[in-house]
Structure 1
Amino acid sequence: MNQRFKSNEVEEFAFDHLSSIETGGLLSRRELMRRATLFGAAGTLGTFTGILHAAGPEAAGKVTVGLDSGAFTPILKTFAPEFQKATGIDLTFASYPLGNMYDQNLLALRQKTARFDAFDFWPNFVGDFGPYLTPLEEVGTKAELGFDDIAPPFQLLNHYEGKLVGVTIDGDMFMNTYRTDLFEDAAEAKAFKVKYGYDLGAPRDYKQYRDTAEFFTRPDKNLYGAVEVTSYFVYAFFINHLVQAAVEKGQSRYGELFDADMKPQLLTDVAEEALRRYGEMTAFMPKNLAKAMPWDVGRQMFFEGKIAQANWWTDMPKGAADPSISKVAGKIKCAGNWGGVTVLPYGRAMGIAKNSQNKKGAFKAIAWMQQTANANRWVAETFSQSLMDPWRMSMFNNPKATFPLQAASGFADNFATVSKDLLTSKKAYLDLSIPGTNRYLSSIIQHVQRANSGEATPRQALQAMTTEFEETTKAYGRDRQIKHNAEYRQRMIKQGYWS
């Protein structure tokens, strides 16, 4: 006669968990429970979890993954057959336009029937998407995601009300990519020192950034000193200027948009200086594009050899190093952001819709994408196939394998070293991610463009932003916004980024 081991909390939990598992025909439920009684529920659960997890209904069925349409979508689709073979899950991809990511995803999340099981989004949408996302640890573990390997700043993103609802799959941050055939040319270096009184090199502050941009702006030779986006993604570049200007002034809470009571912090000398600097940089770009420079056009101009340096997302050096699309391949190096803070605008995360009928399958898809071998392959693919930027620290351990383009030239090592320095910096700025962030960002985008085009002074633009910020806060409820903003602020403080 079998004697059941003495019950305790661990055993009771294990028995409850075992009783809810579908065995998929590997062994009968009666046999499973018999073994639990004989050998102990906790031991049985530990022994058979891997087998049962693979055999359960969550390891079968269909999973639809939504992705914004772009160059990295095709490379992900190539993995669908491999994923199906490894897991038994039928994986399909659906796409939506990059510019409609917010509206289409929010609509899909609110519907009764899920359009996507898992999908990608910008982390600053988490405040609005959060109520409709599944906390990842409800369907899996951080260990399955290899979470500890994700770069520290990216670990701090994608939290809603204290729960992790997304995980990074595309690690955007700003770094400087500069032309070595210009910055390391002896004649250029001599002329620069004569004009500015110090040595030419990758800029380390705004003055150096501005000086080098001015020095290399030569319209008669179709060469310009810098390129910044001044259309749709103006938010990212304005925030960079705001954050770096605040650090220069000795502020410990650089880039803080709201105080503890959700009052906007924009009508300041620092914000006005940041907006003035942003506008100043347009003088070192092509006049016909300076006031409305699209991100894809600016990047292409660098590839064509028309730009001396670009303080830009990490896709810039990745593409510039690809000789199949870049005329400056083999003539570039990376350096940190010209300011003292690592700024991580946008990026992409993957989350699971709360209205998904296959959450465990969706989690498997995300976890599979996070496996080192798979993730590294996406980043290593040629630029024309993949826009995914590195987000895991292990991606920098073997630069020549993870970043094969121009590996022999030393570019891979340079890119990896600079990236690691930025991602382990004591100062970083996490994107705002509270309810209504999309509306707050829309105000910044609209009025920064007005200031850059001369339709408004920097002060007028900041006043308009402040007014609209207050309207958005009122619409979402000040008490609610205070609560969410306090959580965001605490993430910055706890990590030591803010005091």
Structure 2
Amino acid sequence: MADDMGEDTPGTRAIAGIKALNLPPDTTITVFTEDLSILGPEVTKDDFEAQSGIKLDIQKSPFGEYASKILADAATQAGTFDVVLVETNRLGDLDNAGYLVDVTEWVEKYDPDIEDFIFPISHTASQYNGRYVGLPTDGDVFIFYYRKDLLEDPAEQAAFAEQYGRELTVPVTYDEYMEVLEFFTRPEENLYGATEWRITLLNYWWFWQRLWSGGGTYFHDDMSAAVNSPAGVQALEDMIAMEAVMSPDALSYGYVESVEAMTSGTAFSNITWPAAGKNANDPETSTTVGKWGYATVPGYVVDGQVNQRSMSAPGYTILVSNYADVNKEAAYLYTQWFTSPENLIKANQNLGGNTDVVRASIFADPSMAEIFPGADEYLDAQKANLAQAVPDPVLPGYGEYAQALEIELGNALTGQKSPQEALDDAAEAWDEITDSYGREEQLQVWQNFLASIAG
């Protein structure tokens, strides 16, 4: 991947732009995000400082705290951070707080090569309400991970065929998926068919993935909530049914616990982010290196066709704070430098990080296939899942919508409400949230978002 030979890249254009600004020699850009995504800026820090002459002050916070700190910086207009890597779904609330900078002029002037970013992340993570406000850093999308060594074992294949009357293959439909998970659920061997995020916080992403696969969506055309549709009820019922093929303490599992189930060999499968593939193949932490297969997330059959969908969330946008004291053009140029292929690839190749490939040129780089055994198949699966991605909705009040739904998903997962009751209550809460922000205003933002993902 070129940059050292003087070739023209978004990164070299950014450095040339910074030098043309003739900034004071003590210029420092403060960069902030959560403690896994920050590994990207950390592993590229020395290169940027050497090339630009600008210092970076890199700050971080745990995942559960960092967003609130960015929102507080926006609310107080303190300008604590110059550049932030933030979940893309926060753009609506940050825009309402006056935090976003319209960088369209600089995108056009310096050319970050937007078309090299994978669609629709190329649009959803860079634009808000029709203008450029940042650049994508992370190709977040769910991948179906499965124990390839077990699936391809002749003895397992024979036993499965005898029990289910069909070949043991990578499941394509959710019905096939449940059969395979049931088959590999063996508590006496400390092996369970699946591990997934289930602790109360982010279950809505796994729900939304199934909702869209079943033909559902977030909102009706009049902006009324659509999460309580038949597709939504089916999705939640099936999430509850998965408890039979998961560890008894599965409701306490977040990302770390589900990946530990992969690395310790207690789970046959997982549906989660690309970073898990790197984590599960890190020989310093995993006992299952080289044993994983990678595939597209299964789907429901809708109108006679399998509708496979994969959740693309949260994704990260690197952006400039409107309240920053530093030269904002220089801050933008840092974001373009960081997301340039020759720099972003260093974050993508870090097995301990969570920055996933988001540029087509990085997917095509031969060195990516060497980051761990089977990485070529892993990258192919990531690309395939991005091609069937369900977008995270980006609009004001995202956190309120998500929290209202999460509460009701928890009520259903713990048996306090039926799926229909829980989703009806969630839909009622969503309609109240929409009205609190202004139904017509929300509808306009939502229509602009839908237009961006339609290409």
Provide the TM-score with structure 1 as the length reference.
0.82
**Residue pair 2:262, 2:280 contacting (<8 A) in 1 also:** yes
Structure 1 residue 142: Cα displacement? 7.6
**Residue pair 1:176, 1:335 contacting (<8 A) in 2 also:** yes
**Residue pair 1:132, 1:355 contacting (<8 A) in 2 also:** yes
One of 389, 396, 404 as aligned partner of 2:356 = 389
Structure 1 residue 405: Cα displacement? 3.3
**Residue pair 1:291, 1:449 contacting (<8 A) in 2 also:** no
Amino acid at match of 2:122: Q
Q: Distance in 1 between matches of 2:322 and 2:315?
A: 22
**Residue pair 2:206, 2:311 contacting (<8 A) in 1 also:** no
**Residue pair 1:161, 1:484 contacting (<8 A) in 2 also:** yes
**Residue pair 2:40, 2:355 contacting (<8 A) in 1 also:** no
Partner of 2:114: 147
Mapping of 1:239-254 within 5 angstroms? 239-246=208-215, 254=216
**Residue pair 2:279, 2:285 contacting (<8 A) in 1 also:** yes
Pair 1:268-2:229 in alignment: yes
One of 169, 175, 180 as aligned partner of 1:201 = 169
Q: Distance in 2 between matches of 1:78 and 1:343?
A: 28
Q: Distance in 2 between matches of 1:155 and 1:75?
A: 19
One of 375, 386, 390 as aligned partner of 1:412 = 375
Q: Distance in 1 between matches of 2:17 and 2:290?
A: 51
Partner of 2:340: 371
Cα deviation code 1:302-338 (max 9, x no counterpart): 1100001112111121211222211110111111111
Amino acid at match of 1:371: S
Q: Distance in 1 between matches of 2:272 and 2:331?
A: 32
Partner of 2:293: 333
> What is the number of residues matched between the two proteins?
429
Partner of 2:397: 436
Pair 1:448-2:413 in alignment: no
Mapping of 1:204-353 within 5 angstroms? 204-231=172-199, 232-246=201-215, 254=216, 256-287=217-248, 289-339=249-299, 340-353=308-321
One of 65, 75, 85 as aligned partner of 2:31 = 65
Q: Distance in 1 between matches of 2:277 and 2:171?
A: 16
**Residue pair 2:89, 2:392 contacting (<8 A) in 1 also:** yes
**Residue pair 2:33, 2:60 contacting (<8 A) in 1 also:** yes
Amino acid at match of 2:378: F
Structure 1 residue 53: Cα displacement? 5.3
Cα deviation code 1:215-261 (max 9, x no counterpart): 10000100000111112221111111111122xxxxxxx4x211122
**Residue pair 2:145, 2:271 contacting (<8 A) in 1 also:** yes
Amino acid at match of 2:316: R
Call closer, same or farther: CA 1:474–1:58 in 2, change over 3 Å. Answer: farther
Call closer, same or farther: CA 1:366–1:257 in 2, change over 3 Å. Answer: same
Higher relative contact order (CA 8 A, sep 6+): 2
One of 125, 146, 151 as aligned partner of 1:183 = 151
Q: Distance in 2 between matches of 1:395 and 1:50?
A: 20
Cα deviation code 1:332-379 (max 9, x no counterpart): 111111121232021211111111232112112111111212111111
Partner of 1:398: 365
Call closer, same or farther: CA 1:103–1:379 in 2, change over 3 Å. Answer: same
Q: Distance in 2 between matches of 1:351 and 1:268?
A: 36
Pair 1:103-2:73 in alignment: no
Cα deviation code 1:61-93 (max 9, x no counterpart): 1111111123x4345324222211111111111
**Residue pair 1:393, 1:420 contacting (<8 A) in 2 also:** no
Call closer, same or farther: CA 1:102–1:476 in 2, change over 3 Å. Answer: farther
**Residue pair 1:380, 1:403 contacting (<8 A) in 2 also:** no
Percent identity between the two aligned chains: 26
Call closer, same or farther: CA 1:380–1:141 in 2, change over 3 Å. Answer: same
Q: Distance in 2 between matches of 1:142 and 1:379?
A: 27
**Residue pair 1:260, 1:486 contacting (<8 A) in 2 also:** no
Structure 1 residue 283: Cα displacement? 1.4
Cα deviation code 1:20-49 (max 9, x no counterpart): xxxxxxxxxxxxxxxxxxxxxxxxxxxxx9
SS in 1 for 2:108: coil
Gaps of 5+ in 1: 1-48, 247-253
RMSD in angstroms over aligned alpha carbons?
2.1
Q: Distance in 1 between matches of 2:131 and 2:418?
A: 41
One of 73, 90, 97 as aligned partner of 2:55 = 90
Mapping of 1:126-137 within 5 angstroms? 126-130=91-95, 131-137=98-104
Amino acid at match of 2:279: G
Q: Distance in 1 between matches of 2:24 and 2:161?
A: 64
Call closer, same or farther: CA 1:237–1:52 in 2, change over 3 Å. Answer: closer
Call closer, same or farther: CA 1:134–1:153 in 2, change over 3 Å. Answer: same
Amino acid at match of 1:235: Y
Amino acid at match of 1:214: E
